[in-house]
Amino acid sequence: MNKYAGAGVGLVSALLLMACNGRDEAADSATSAPPAAGPVAATPAEGQMVDVIQTSPTQIIGISYPHDAAVPAGLVKVMQDYADHARAELQSALDGLGNDTPRVPYELSLSFTVSADTPDLMAISADGSRYTGGAHGQPLVARFVWLKQEGRLLPIDELISQPDSRTAIADYVQQRLVEQMESRLQADKLSATEQAELLRSARRMISEGTEPEAENFSQFLPVMDRQGRISGLRFVFPPYQVGPYSDGTQSMEVPVDVLLPHLEPKYRHLFANSPAPV
């Protein structure tokens, strides 16, 4: 775990424990008293990171931010906007019930952590879930790469802009994900027929989820070397994109030697094995 993640994970874990206890109590006794409403956190001002813990009979919300890093104000705004959207989706689900109330509180758990921090960039991971009924919650997975000197996000279609380059990266990721799945199936010691059937299904999902479109590769993090330069990109795929929900969030790292020929020239100085800008 990186040094910035501890506090955020602790807060979110506490909220998840509260939520699970709430579900268990509701299942044991439909007439039990509803959870007491906790204090409502004030809306943070722009540029401020204020953790949120809210409980009520209808919802439980826990949002944590990284407080051990100097996060640029613009990036703070990006995190706040993402959190606000997640909260709005939770509220929309509650509003959809009309005058009814959920059997157990709806839940939002979200943690922002710093994944990389150099003079050139800062990368943020957002992970959590939103529960609005059903067998399990909806995963929340987002990655943000902020260019400090330019004061803006770096989108993947700007970093790798040419269609041929996106196809080359997509092919690499697809091949590695299939190889990873093959290894898992072999380790499970299934019959040849079962392996073939599962691999066929996996190939289809991987192929669809890694088509060379920017949106399929929009969630990525830089992998940093000891000199503070990027040695690779780790692409992150939420559940359902390249595998079933049970497979969880998956990722695949593309090393710098594969990436370099496909990067836009203006960003190559950020990567290892590239000449520094003159």
Distance CA 208, CA 219 (A): 16
Average pLDDT on 90-100 reads 95
Q: Where in the chain is the domain with CATH 3.30.565.40?
A: 5-153
CB 232 within 8 A of CB 134: no
The CATH homologous superfamily of the domain defined by 5-153:
Fervidobacterium nodosum Rt17-B1 like (3.30.565.40)
112 has a pLDDT exceeding 80: yes
Mean pLDDT over residues 40-66, rounded?
A: 81
Mean pLDDT, to the nearest integer, of 37-49? 53
Tens of pLDDT along 117-128? 999 999 999 999
Residue-wise pLDDT for 10-29, tens only, equals: 545 554 444 444 444 443 43
Q: DSSP strand E in 48-117: where?
A: 52-55, 59-64, 106-117
**Whose CA is closest to 129, among 52, 15, 53?**
15
User: Could you report the per-residue pLDDT of 203-248, keeping only the tens digit for each?
Assistant: 999 999 999 999 999 999 999 999 999 999 999 999 999 999 989 9
The Cβ of residue 2 has, within 10 Å, a number of other Cβ atoms equal to 12
| pLDDT over 90, % of the chain | 72
Confidence band (pLDDT; 50, 70, 90) for 48? confident
For 138-170, the pLDDT digits (tens) are 999 999 999 999 999 999 999 999 999 999 999
pLDDT of residue 44 exceeding 60, the answer is no
- The per-residue pLDDT for 274 is 67
Q: Taking the mean position of all CA atoms in its chain, how far away is CA 145?
A: 12
Instruction: Give the per-residue pLDDT at 192.
Output: 83
Residue 1, pLDDT > 50, answer no
Q: What is the pLDDT of residue 46?
A: 52
Across the chain, mean pLDDT equals 86
> What length is written for the chain?
278
**Nearest partner of 88 among 113, 102, 108, 58, judged by Cα:** 108
pTM of the predicted structure, to 2 decimals: 0.81
Q: Is the predicted pLDDT of residue 59 greater than 60, yes or no?
A: yes
Structure confidence at residue 196 (pLDDT)? 86
CA angle 103, 106, 108 (to 5 degrees): 165
pLDDT of 81 higher than 60 = yes
Q: What is the pLDDT of residues 252-263, one digit of tens each?
A: 999 999 999 999
